[in-house]
């Protein structure tokens, strides 16, 4: 039954693509190309005219295909290294809104997860959901102690639906990789694998709760960002209960204006929050679209952000974090040569890249954006040009930087809405400089000593004995014994091979001599003496060959 369901789902996908006039995506795959001519001759295609762009039609098709494909399109919108700019911009408009599932099902899931009826766990529970998305929906509730909370419950059967659609995505990706002319460059199978990891992580509410708890601890007592508290006693793998927050959606400019919120301060604080998460905490909210960000207008001159939905969190390795900071630092100082060198040092571009050429290309892309307000800068166009430049030098966007890129694009969107005149570079530069000073210099040295001192003290008692053993081995030439043994083994192998070659030559020589003696005997020649001489020579040569192989 499973192959039948997959086939029917695949047929449904193709019908939806055809309905939206996206037959070129189907017939771009070589496997389906023989059917293209027959399809275009069909009567319903004779007078069909498409007024919308292919990007718009693709967005609408993904919305019709369902929530899993909607989230896939949202993820694709962040991969501007793979998509043309118009597709990335259009897919970013995908809305993750689906009808809610019945409240009876939600209540049943919650009661099973918390092990008690909702009327015992909560003083109040609103059966009508506050919000509904592809993965989960949210209900408002009140605890017995009077505290307001929200209950997020994962959709029933969502895992089965996700696995079904992922299997089909893999099939389509494999076909595209094999038959589509751009399949090798766009790496569709790797894209689907990346999406699979992201969406499966979002299904685990315990993981989301842990992310929220860590982020709350990072910004404890912060005046810039507030993270609601997790109610751990009522949280499980498919249900999360959190403190309910009150705030204004960050994209509701009219409501923010009524509260006299300082938009400039709000925009600058958003930038600082981003760089704090990435460089100071190395733990950043990677789904900062307007639906997940609210504003606390209690202090309009110093507004505070409130974040929700912590299913997608990003972090960097220490080396990537450092290289990224140095890249930002070099960008801000317009040191394009250093940017090019860092890309080579980090392995992001091949080691044989000509630094001068790469430097010139980076300068061409970056120089026009400096000293201009955010409203005059298109980061979408900037990133597109940067990735096009990178492809010329065989650079592939690092997977670990994709979530960071997505977050940066969200920050750009928020900045445009809040304060279009914000100079992103001017706001971020002092933060990056301070971070660099903390990482290099006396402070960094002191922090390194403090971090590694316990390990050093742990090893210290055994250090004199280790040094003594090493000196003894060096005195007895034991330090090189492994190397010498390997050398002797290679030498022995070489000698054996040489002996075999010599044996073959001796065999050939013996056969040659025997042939001469045989011919001599056939002609009755007596100048070599008795016949036993020829047999003796042949036997001696044969013995030498056998002996050489036995060694």
Q: In 10 A of CB 81, how many CB atoms?
A: 21
As a whole number of angstroms, the distance between CA 376 and CA 420 comes to 8
Q: Are the C-beta atoms of residues 116 and 144 closer than 8 Å to each other?
A: no
Residue 533 CB-half CA count within 13 A: 12
Q: Are the C-beta atoms of residues 368 and 425 closer than 8 Å to each other?
A: no
As a whole number of angstroms, the distance between CA 421 and CA 269 comes to 14
Strands 225-226 and 248-249: unpaired
Helix, strand or coil for residue 225? strand
Helix, strand or coil for residue 317? coil
Q: CB-based contacts of 496: which residues, under 8 Å, 6+ apart?
A: 551
3-state helix, strand, coil in the chain (%, to 5): 65, 10, 25
User: Which one from 23, 287, 296, 309 is the annotated catalytic residue?
Assistant: 287
Q: Are the C-beta atoms of residues 217 and 225 closer than 8 Å to each other?
A: no
How far from the centroid of its chain's Cα atoms is residue 162's Cα? 20
Q: Confirm whether 287 is a catalytic residue.
A: yes
H-run or E-run covering 138: strand 136-143
Q: In 10 A of CB 489, how many CB atoms?
A: 10
**Cα angle 114-119-123, degrees, rounded to a multiple of 5:** 105
> DSSP string covering 219-273, please?
TTT-SSEE-PPB-GGG--SSEEEEE----EETT-HHHHHHTT--HHHHHHHHHHH
- Active-site positions? 287
């Amino acid at each position: 039954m499973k192959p039948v369901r997959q086939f029917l789902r695949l047929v449904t996908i193709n019908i939806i693509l055809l309905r939206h006039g996206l037959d070129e995506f189907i017939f771009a795959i070589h496997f389906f190309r023989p059917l293209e001519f027959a399809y275009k001759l069909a009567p319903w295609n004779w007078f069909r005219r498409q007024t919308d762009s292919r990007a718009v039609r693709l967005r609408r098709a993904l919305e019709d295909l369902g929530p899993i494909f909607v989230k896939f399109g949202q993820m694709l919108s962040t991969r501007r290294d793979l998509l043309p700019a118009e597709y990335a911009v259009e897919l970013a408009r995908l809305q993750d809104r689906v009808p809610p599932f019945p409240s009876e099902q939600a209540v049943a899931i919650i009661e099973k997860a918390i092990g008690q009826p909702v009327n015992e766990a909560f003083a109040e529970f609103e059966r009508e959901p506050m919000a509904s998305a592809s993965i989960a929906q949210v209900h408002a509730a009140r605890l017995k102690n009077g505290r307001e909370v929200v209950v997020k419950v994962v959709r029933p059967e969502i895992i089965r639906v996700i696995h079904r659609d992922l299997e089909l995505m893999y099939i389509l990706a494999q076909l595209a990789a094999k038959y589509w002319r751009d399949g090798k460059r766009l790496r569709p199978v790797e894209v689907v694998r990346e999406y699979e990891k992201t969406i499966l992580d979002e299904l685990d509410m315990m993981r989301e709760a842990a992310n929220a708890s860590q982020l709350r601890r990072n910004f404890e007592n912060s005046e810039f960002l507030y993270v609601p508290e997790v109610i751990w006693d009522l949280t499980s793998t498919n249900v999360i209960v959190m403190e309910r927050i009150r705030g204004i959606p960050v994209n509701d400019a009219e409501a923010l204006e009524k509260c006299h919120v300082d938009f400039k301060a709000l925009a600058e604080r958003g930038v600082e929050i981003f760089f704090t998460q990435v460089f100071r905490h190395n733990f950043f909210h990677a789904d900062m679209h307007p639906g997940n960000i609210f504003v606390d207008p209690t202090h309009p001159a110093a507004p505070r952000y409130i974040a929700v939905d912590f299913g997608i969190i990003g972090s960097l390795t220490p080396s990537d974090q450092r290289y990224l900071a140095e890249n930002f630092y070099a960008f801000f100082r317009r040191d394009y040569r250093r940017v090019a060198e860092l890309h080579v040092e980090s392995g992001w571009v091949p080691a044989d890249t000509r630094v001068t050429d790469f430097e010139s290309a980076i300068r061409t892309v970056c120089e026009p954006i400096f000293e201009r307000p955010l409203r005059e800068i298109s980061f979408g166009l900037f990133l597109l040009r940067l990735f096009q430049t990178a492809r010329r030098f065989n650079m592939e966007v690092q997977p670990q930087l994709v979530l960071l890129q997505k977050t940066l694009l969200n920050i750009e969107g928020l900045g445009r809405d809040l304060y279009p005149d914000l100079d992103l570079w001017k706001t971020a530069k002092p933060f990056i400089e301070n971070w660099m000073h903390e990482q290099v210099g006396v402070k960094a040295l002191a922090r390194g000593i403090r971090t590694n001192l316990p390990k050093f003290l742990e090893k210290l008692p055994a250090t004199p004995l280790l040094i003594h053993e090493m000196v003894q081995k060096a005195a007895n030439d034991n330090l090189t014994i492994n190397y010498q043994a390997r050398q002797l083994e290679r030498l022995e192998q070489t000698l054996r091979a040489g002996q075999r070659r010599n044996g073959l030559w001796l065999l050939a020589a013996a056969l040659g001599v025997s042939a001469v003696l045989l011919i001599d005997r056939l002609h009755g020649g007596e100048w070599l003496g008795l016949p036993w001489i020829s047999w003796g020579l042949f036997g001696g040569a044969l013995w030498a060959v056998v002996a050489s192989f036995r060694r």
